[in-house]
Amino acid sequence: MSTLHARAPLSPTDSLAHPAPSLSARSLPALGLGGTAVLLLTAGAASPWLLLFNGLTTVRGIALDGGPLAVLGLIGLALVVTIARRGDSRVLRVIAALAGGLIAADSLLSAARIGAYVAAPGPAAALTAPSAGVGPWLMAAGGAALLTTAIVVPGTATRLVRADVARVLLAVALIVAAGIHLMLTPEHLGESTLLGAGFFVAGLAQLALAAVVLLRRDDRALGLAITLSIALLAVYAYAVLVGLPLDAGHSEDAIGLRLGAGEPVDLKGLVTVLAEIGTIAAAVVVGRAATPKAE
């Protein structure tokens, strides 16, 4: 028998005025640990993983595995919040735990590889003078904290309903798109301050909408998510087909599938487009589930 059940639709007034079910006091310590996990993951992604030329060149986690792992951690936290706030789900708990375990394992493997390179850098050792950074260890600690959170967080007595599953998918799509925008921010800041700021603001806006979708039943966020996604898709389409005046020749050197005179479509661009299309679709589903049906 399916574990998903229909929930009575909310009126527009209720959806705007009332938050989602409140957190129980016993779930707060676990969610605090989850918040600590995200802080550690963010610090790990921003911190040095490898230093070269006696520290003159810094390779940060966001340029390696740190960015994708931080996004995975945010998705894991979103699942944990859903378990604690909207309804227990064994599947979501397992996925969140696997996310934490994968983050910890990948980070430890990266730390081991970097350590091996630092110990034996080869003939160029005197020139490169490599040293290991703290980033992978912070990331591993964040993954372990997320794993622990997924295991110990108490779920609500209710089961997830279809509308809540759609909200989870909406939040995940927003987090993926936001993560890619934030990962690309340093690269685009090097081309144009305005372009980099645009990526940063877009990422923060998508993260904020993901939080609202998870924590409240404010359906205004659905309209904002749809509007923002359509706007970003339009800008990206123009960048691909025509080219933005701010890219400072970046599109000429970029690698990917060229569909027009602008920048080529690469993997990150494709994933972002799919995430934003998924955002629109999931927001429509959530909105229909919250709209009272005519008798």
Q: What pLDDT is attached to residue 262?
A: 79
Domain extent for 269: 1-6+160-295
Q: Which 3-state string (H, E, C) describes the chain?
A: CCCCCCCCCCCHHHHHHCECCCCCHHHHHHHHHHHHHHHHHHHHHHCEEEEECCCCEEEEHHHCCHHHHHHHHHHHHHHHHHHHHCCECHHHHHHHHHHHHHHHHHHHHHHHHHHHHHHCCCCCHHHHCCEECCHHHHHHHHHHHHHHHHHHCCCCCCECCHHHHHHHHHHHHHHHHHHHHHHHHHHHHCCCHHHHHHHHHHHHHHHHHHHHHHHECCCHHHHHHHHHHHHHHHHHHHHHHCCCCCCCCHHHHCCCECCCCCCCECHHHHHHHHHHHHHHHHHHHHHHHHCCCCC
Residue 129 lies inside a defined structural domain of this protein: yes
State which of 124, 157, 190 marks the end of a domain.
157
Phi, psi for residue 255 in degrees, rounded to 5: -110, 135
Q: Is residue 6's pLDDT more than 80?
A: no
Looking at 157, 172, 206, the residue that finishes a domain is 157
Of 226, 181, 234, 185, give the one whose Cα is nearest residue 207. 181
**What is the mean predicted confidence (pLDDT) over 105-128?**
91
**258 and 292 fall within a common domain:** yes
| Residue range 222-232, pLDDT digits in tens | 999 999 999 99
Specify whether 32 is located in the same domain as 132. Answer: yes
According to DSSP, the residues that pair with 257 across neighbouring strands are 265
Which pLDDT band, with edges at 50, 70 and 90, does 251 fall under? low
Residue 264 lies in a domain: yes
Residue 216 is predicted with a pLDDT of 86
Instruction: Specify the number of domains making up the chain.
Output: 2
Residues 127 and 202 in one domain: no
Is 12 inside any structural domain?
no
Two tokens, residue 34: 């989850």
Q: Is residue 236 in a domain?
A: yes
At residue 256, does pLDDT exceed 80?
Answer: no
- Give pLDDT tens digits for 157-168: 677 788 888 999
Identify whether residues 143 and 179 lie together within a single domain.
no
Domain boundary among 141, 157, 173: 157
Euclidean distance between CA atoms 178 and 151, whole angstroms:
26
Q: What pLDDT, in 10s, does the model give residues 125-159? A: 778 889 999 999 999 999 999 999 999 999 876 77
pLDDT classification of 19: cutoffs 50, 70, 90: very low
Q: 58 or 255, which is more confident?
A: 58
238 occurs within a structural domain: yes
Whole-number pLDDT of residue 248: 56
Token output for 48:
């040095």
Residue with the two structure tokens 């003078």:
129
Domain match, 152 and 164 both = no
Check whether residue 182 and residue 243 sit in a common domain.
Answer: yes
The pTM of the full predicted model, rounded to 2 decimals, is 0.87
- Pair 275, 257 in one domain: yes
User: Is residue 58 in a domain?
Assistant: yes
Q: Are residues 143 and 177 in the same domain?
A: no
Q: How far apart are CA 209 and CA 213, in angstroms?
A: 6
Whether 14 is in a domain gets the answer no
Is pLDDT of 25 > 90? no
Quote the CA–CA distance of 225 and 208 in Å, as a whole number: 10
Q: If we measure between CA atoms, which residue out of 3, 86, 61 comes closest to residue 179?
A: 61
86 and 180 both lie in a single domain: no
Mean pLDDT of 190-215: 93
- Of the candidates 181, 241, 236, 243, the one whose C-alpha atom is nearest the C-alpha of residue 206 is 181
To which residue do tokens 């080219």 refer? Answer: 243
Claim to verify: residue 127 and residue 177 sit in the same structural domain: no
| Same domain? 247 vs 258 | yes
Q: Do 268 and 218 share a structural domain?
A: yes
In a domain, 111, yes or no: yes
Q: In the beta sheet, which residues pair with residue 52?
A: 57
Output the CA torsion sign for 137, 135, 59, 102. Answer: positive
